[in-house]
């Protein structure tokens, strides 16, 4: 009878796979015998060796670089899907074209496969995986175990003997907590070197913020310091009610012994603690640890924002910006983030009881089992939430959107995008870019927009809108021709961009080429570069094609490319500005009388027409003879009014 391995043995095998690549090439790891010098991978032969077992797999290119790591409940079925004919995903087709060979490791469950996948992703950082870049350790508050314990900020390995409280989401949360603790608990926060060499109390002691253990304190002073250390431990552990009770008992004890000065100090501590509790309390329903996660995606960038709620208070927040590859789905983004975030060793002390997310994830049950296995306790994922949790989720999503907007607008991000765009288009020193877009509703009230970007981002003061007139309704080519003609009618006496983006395909690009060629024919200014941004299949973001003016050279960029992120930002801004202008014009037209705009018909004549004929509908029905009977309306003007009204109608 075959001996069955225990879960611990299987995890040991997983560790071997991480630490020694030679071991995973044994029975559980199969490798293609095809030459590594070519990407013409013989997948049919390879798939015959793959079992129908759960496990993790690695894909290598011809340079022996891991380009993708995945996991599967059934390795054979999952790996076969990559080589099906007619795969729609561009990302998958690109990945498969670079495969030289594949290795896999069989595990005893899908949960173990997920843990292994996460560890391998962190080890190899494959280009086709969504990567969470967060290598910072979390900060703590350290209470040392010296004769007179001190409170300190700590980040990194826990080499100092003492009690560690946290972790906190960022350093500012720790420093703010230390400032608060110094006001309430007179525990030393000076460095050990300062403490060891002082001979008299420092300024903090004179201000009442330290009991000055650096100088002889006497027996009562030692007892008082030890008591404050116990109180600060209760506070940092979140045992606030017990802390308040202990302080109350201590205050009453001092009062009975006529130690009114000490009793007054306890009273002040009680008041300060109650104020802190009132300021920090944000929920009456949630009394346990919970993480709330919201996300936002824009212009090829993604942001995942986490609210850390501990014992009913928001301990802090943090935004992450995982890499979003082309064709990457939202499900893949969230699954990759959650697995890498919660299966990381440095977060083992931060597992909450609940994790609220804002989008359904297909394999959330597998991830939950993996987290429970790693943490040693039950952690639940919640999606459809109400009341307090729903409010926190709204807050997390709003923070994700705000953080992403700030990230996109940051000068560093803008500089990276400009540099990438200059490199791809082979253009130097881009200082001004303009993008043109057309908006209308079935040809009605067409509006064109011109948005301007510089090296820092949008220059909203130079945005312009153009009301398009005299064209066949719905003719976007004619609309583009008109707006460009009006914008570049006098190149030598206006600011000329280095780069002109056209929101559209070859038809719109042709209009731009014709107009700019004619406008700059005799101009002293140089003709700007022209780029058309053509929408991809299904108008899905990230599938756009860039078409260079005149040369018609085409570019297909990945969403992770900063250049495409900049182009999409410019394109989306021109689209928004055009739509806003069109809606405003349409709304104004619907509030405006049809008689307005007819030459020779002012306010008095409009009033006379409406009063004499009995309203707008009667004016519309009236013939030329009836209109001419209105006081102040001649036969010729009546004909003009009739023609104008029926042309509009």
What CATH number does residue 641 fall under?
Answer: 1.10.150.20
**pLDDT tier at 281, thresholds 50, 70, 90:** very low
Instruction: Please report whether residue 429 resides in a domain.
Output: yes
Tell me the per-residue pLDDT of 590-605, one tens digit each, with 9 for 90 and over: 555 667 778 888 888 8
Tell me the per-residue pLDDT of 149-160, one tens digit each, with 9 for 90 and over: 988 888 877 678
Domain containing 526: what range? 414-589
In contact, 230 and 140? CB cutoff 8 Å: no
**Residue 649: pLDDT above 70?**
no
Residue 89 and residue 225 in one domain: no
For every residue of 98-154, DSSP letters joined together read T-SEEEEEE-SSHHHHHHHHHHHHHHH--TTS------PPPEEEEEE-SSS--EEEE
pLDDT score at 412: 60
Which one of 260, 280, 300 terminates a domain?
280
Q: Which stretch of 6-10, 189-193, 414-418, 578-582 has the lowest confidence by average pLDDT? A: 6-10
Residue 503 and residue 570 in one domain: yes
Which letter, b or e, does each residue of 320-356 get, where b requires 16 or more Cβ atoms within 10 Å of its Cβ?
bbbbbbbbbeeebbbbbbbbbbbbbeebeebbbebbb
Split into its structural domains, the chain has a count of: 5
What is the torsional sign of CA 397, 325, 84, 18?
A: negative
Residue 493 and residue 624 in one domain: no
Distance CA(132)–CA(333), nearest Å, equals 10
Instruction: Please report whether residue 132 resides in a domain.
Output: no
Q: What is the CATH number of the domain that holds 555?
A: 3.30.420.340
Residue 306 and residue 380 in one domain: yes
Residue 397 and residue 419 in one domain: no
Instruction: Please report whether residue 422 resides in a domain.
Output: yes
Residue 436 and residue 307 in one domain: no
What is the torsional sign of CA 344, 346, 347, 349?
A: positive
Instruction: Please report whether residue 596 resides in a domain.
Output: no
Residue 191 and residue 304 in one domain: no
Which one of 245, 280, 315 terminates a domain?
280
Rounded mean pLDDT of 48-55? Answer: 84
Cα dihedral 254, 258, 260, 265 in deg (nearest 10): -10
Q: Which stretch of 14-28, 301-315, 371-385 has the lowest confidence by average pLDDT? A: 14-28
Q: How many Cα neighbours within 13 Å face the side chain of 434? A: 22
Residue 371 and residue 456 in one domain: no
Pair of tokens at residue 462: 């130079």
Q: Which stretch of 11-25, 107-121, 247-261, 499-513 has the lowest confidence by average pLDDT? A: 11-25
pLDDT score at 277: 52
pLDDT score at 287: 64
Average pLDDT, the chain: 80
**pLDDT tier at 177, thresholds 50, 70, 90:** confident
Residue 398 and residue 516 in one domain: no
Residue 152 vs residues 140, 273, 397, 485: alpha-carbon distances, Å: 8, 20, 33, 67
Q: What is the CATH number of the domain that holds 340?
A: 3.30.420.10
Residue 164 and residue 247 in one domain: yes
Instruction: Please report whether residue 595 resides in a domain.
Output: no
Strands 139-144 vs 151-155: parallel, antiparallel or unpaired: antiparallel
Rounded mean pLDDT of 156-178? Answer: 73
- Residue 518, classed as helix, strand or coil, is helix
Distance CA(582)–CA(438), nearest Å, equals 9
pLDDT score at 195: 83
Residue 420 and residue 404 in one domain: no
Residue 459 and residue 568 in one domain: yes
- Residue 68, classed as helix, strand or coil, is strand
């Amino acid at each position: 009878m075959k001996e069955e391995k225990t879960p611990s043995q299987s995890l040991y095998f997983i560790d071997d796979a991480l630490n020694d690549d030679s071991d995973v090439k044994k029975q559980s790891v199969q490798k293609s015998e095809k030459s590594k010098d070519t990407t013409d991978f013989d997948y049919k032969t390879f798939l015959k060796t793959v079992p129908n077992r759960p496990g993790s797999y690695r894909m290598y290119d011809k340079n022996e670089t891991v380009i993708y790591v995945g996991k599967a409940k059934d390795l054979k079925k999952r790996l076969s899907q990559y080589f099906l004919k007619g795969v729609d995903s561009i990302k998958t087709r690109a990945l498969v074209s670079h495969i030289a060979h594949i290795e896999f490791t069989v595990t005893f469950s899908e949960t173990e496969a997920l843990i292994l996948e996460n560890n391998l992703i962190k080890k190899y950082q494959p280009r086709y995986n969504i990567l969470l870049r967060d290598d910072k350790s979390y900060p703590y508050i350290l209470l040392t175990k010296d004769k007179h314990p001190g409170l300190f900020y700590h980040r990194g390995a826990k080499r100092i003997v003492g009690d560690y409280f946290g972790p906190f989401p960022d350093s500012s949360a720790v420093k703010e907590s230390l400032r608060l603790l110094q006001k309430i608990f007179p525990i030393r926060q000076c460095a050990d070197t300062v403490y060891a060499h002082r001979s008299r109390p420092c300024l903090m002691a004179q201000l009442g913020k330290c009991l000055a253990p650096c100088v002889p304190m006497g027996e009562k002073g030692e007892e008082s310091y030890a008591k404050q250390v116990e109180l600060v431990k209760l506070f940092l552990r979140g045992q606030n009610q017990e802390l308040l009770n202990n302080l109350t008992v201590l205050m009453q004890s001092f009062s009975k012994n006529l130690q009114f000065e000490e009793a007054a100090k306890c009273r002040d501590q009680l008041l300060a603690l109650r104020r802190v509790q009132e300021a920090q309390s944000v929920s009456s329903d949630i009394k346990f640890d919970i993480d709330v996660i919201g996300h936002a995606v824009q212009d090829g960038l993604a942001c995942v924002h986490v609210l850390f709620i501990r014992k009913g208070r928001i301990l802090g927040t943090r935004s992450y910006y995982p890499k979003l590859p082309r064709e990457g789905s939202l499900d893949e983004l969230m699954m990759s983030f959650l697995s890498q975030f919660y299966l990381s060793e440095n977060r083992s002390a931060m597992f909450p009881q609940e994790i609220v997310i804002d989008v359904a994830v297909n394999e959330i049950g597998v991830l939950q089992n993996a987290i429970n296995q790693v943490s040693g306790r039950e952690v639940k994922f919640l999606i459809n939430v109400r009341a307090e949790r729903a409010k926190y989720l709204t807050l997390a999503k709003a923070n994700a959107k705000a953080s992403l907007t700030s990230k996109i607008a940051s000068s560093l991000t803008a500089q990276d995008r400009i540099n990438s765009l200059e490199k791809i288009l082979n253009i130097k020193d881009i200082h001004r870019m303009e993008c043109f877009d057309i908006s209308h509703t079935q040809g009605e009230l067409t509006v064109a927009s011109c948005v301007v970007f510089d090296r820092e981002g949008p220059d909203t003061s130079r945005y312009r809108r153009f009301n398009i007139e005299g064209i066949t309704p719905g003719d976007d080519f004619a609309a583009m021709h008109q707006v460009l003609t009006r914008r570049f009618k006098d190149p030598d006496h206006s600011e000329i961009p280095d780069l002109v983006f056209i929101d559209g395909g070859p038809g719109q690009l042709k209009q731009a080429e014709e107009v700019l060629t004619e406008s700059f024919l005799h101009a002293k200014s140089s003709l700007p570069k022209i780029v058309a941004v053509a929408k991809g299949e299904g108008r899905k973001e990230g599938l756009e094609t860039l078409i260079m003016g005149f040369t018609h050279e085409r570019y297909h960029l990945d969403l992770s490319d900063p250049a495409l992120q900049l182009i999409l930002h410019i394109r989306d801004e021109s689209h928004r500005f055009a739509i806003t202008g069109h809606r405003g014009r349409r709304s104004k037209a619907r509030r405006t009388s049809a008689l307005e705009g007819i030459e020779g018909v002012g306010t008095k004549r409009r009033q006379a027409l409406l009063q004499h004929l009995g309203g707008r509908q009667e004016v519309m029905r009236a013939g030329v003879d009836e209109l001419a009977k209105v006081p102040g309306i001649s036969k010729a003007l009546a004909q003009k009014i009739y023609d104008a009204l029926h042309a509009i109608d």
